[in-house]
Structure 1
């Protein structure tokens, strides 16, 4: 038996998603269906699927409402291989743009909306050129595993960082090393984390800091999706790692160049610790209907 899925295709700096509205939580796609939707040859094609569901109608949404009763919408995010993910920095901006487009929420310029995710509640602010998402308190996590990647001659140490989902950031020597990587193959971590990790490879710009803003380039292999044109939480983790390596005088504002564009990262203090925010564009590309078995 098949059914029609009404969807919207969206993207943020080339990180693309299939979004659909299911406020009551009646349409739960299987991992096989999600992988089929995301297939770039036989499906719509995307790095992940996002379901817009009211928090009260999803088991995972109960924690979001307990944390913040204003988080009435939950971002139910799945990677392109059908595995569930805790958070997506580009995805949450596109998700908010989708809620506004569908008339499911209202958000004036400068306004903020609370969104439930499996990493906790995240607050998204509407800006003149897109959206800014407060990704909450970050932490060093996962140690310094060795990272092996195809076309990288020698294994390099990485830095484990958690921003609601796990990352390992690797510093490279120059642009040629970054460009020569073959991220069609999954890099290998030693030791390998049980839940896996997103792996970012970064190169500092020259100079690293210009007009008080740090600048880096990044490529990423996302857990469950492979290489993508952009990873929002990966850009955040990369900026945090380079600031950590650079020392106490490093700036709190960063511009991260990814293959799909440029993202802004800002670190700021709050009562519960240091938060990190991600800013960038969000575009809804087209609507469609897909017949699913």
Structure 2
């Protein structure tokens, strides 16, 4: 079977997008892992499937590069919204269904997309960091010297710690550059490696940074290896509302591959 695909990235966090309006196919774990393989396939951090939905503009189905179904992906959500816009499925605003519920996205321009995230009502505090679920589970630590940190080695060692349950967690290492500007490195589960950016991880890290701050409106610049993202939200009574993840989106190329 010959599949058409497009490749997008959000701050270096890259995705294969396949439109299920064009193909009626159920992918196996092995097929998805092949597509995402950077040596033998197309290469990506994950696969995004755009599917029709009767109640919303579309449904986003996400798989990590290991081929397994994944939880919410923030940069992937921004990328698939840009894809839907570029193909005329949506206007400059859209609501779509993802694994963690309904999301609103705004196309500021074809290369910049804002995505509304789910509210966060609980931040778990550990001695060495924070645990925040932003549609995907994230551990956030500010204690490491990220200039010398081996993100892969340290992230891998934390990712499967028993305190995070059988599925483990994503791991984020942050440095506070300024009051509202953080540098972030992320080890992603399912990718099982460092990625150039992580949307849900950036949201989790910005929230962790503000957990002990006064109530108010916050806008945090997140500096990742692949580019900068912005996270904004309202904080009140240890709850976080009106959370937006904003940043660049880029169409890279399109092609066909035999599966």
Normalised to the residue count of structure 1, the TM-score between the two structures is: 0.80
Distance 2:183 2:96 in 1: 29
Equivalent pairs, count: 252
Task: Give the aligned partner of residue 274 of structure 1.
Answer: 241
Provide the rounded CA distance (Å) in 2 between the counterparts of 1:236 and 1:261. Answer: 15
139 and 25 in structure 1: CA distance in 2 versus 1, 3 angstrom threshold? farther
Contact 2:216 2:234 (C-alpha < 8 Å) held by counterparts = no
Per-residue CA deviations over 1:184-228 (Å, capped at 9, x if unaligned) read 5613224232222111010101xx22xxxx000000011101210
Q: Where does residue 153 of structure 1 map in the other structure?
A: none
1:59 aligned residue: none
Matches within 5 A, 1:200-215: 200-205=172-177, 208-209=178-179, 214-215=180-181
Report how far residue 34 of structure 1 moved: 0.5
Q: What SS class does the counterpart of residue 180 from structure 1 fall into? A: coil
2:49 is aligned with 1:83: no
User: What is the aligned partner in structure 2 of residue 171 from structure 1?
Assistant: 142
- Distance, in Å, in 1 between the alignment partners of 2:195 and 2:170 is 11
Alpha-carbon distance in 2 for matches of 1:202, 1:10? 26
Residue among 136, 153, 157 paired with 1:187:
157
CA distance in 1, matches of 2:22, 2:253: 24
Deviation digits for residues 228-250 of structure 1 (CA, Å, limit 9, x no counterpart): 000001001001101114x2178
Q: Measure how far apart 1:84 and its partner are.
A: 1.1
The answer as to 2:203 corresponding to 1:236 is yes
Q: CA RMSD in A?
A: 2.2
Shift of 1:174: 4.0
Distance 1:269 1:238, change over 3 A: closer
The unaligned stretches of length 5 or more in structure 2 are: none
TM-score of the superposition, structure 2-length normalised? 0.90
Bigger radius of gyration: 1
Structure 1 unaligned blocks of 5 or more:
57-68, 146-155
Q: How does 1:36-115 map to 2 (within 5 A)?
A: 36-56=34-54, 69=55, 71-107=56-92, 112-115=93-96
Q: Aligned in 2, Cα 1:173/1:166: closer, same or farther, shift over 3 Å?
A: closer
Matched, 1:291 2:258: yes
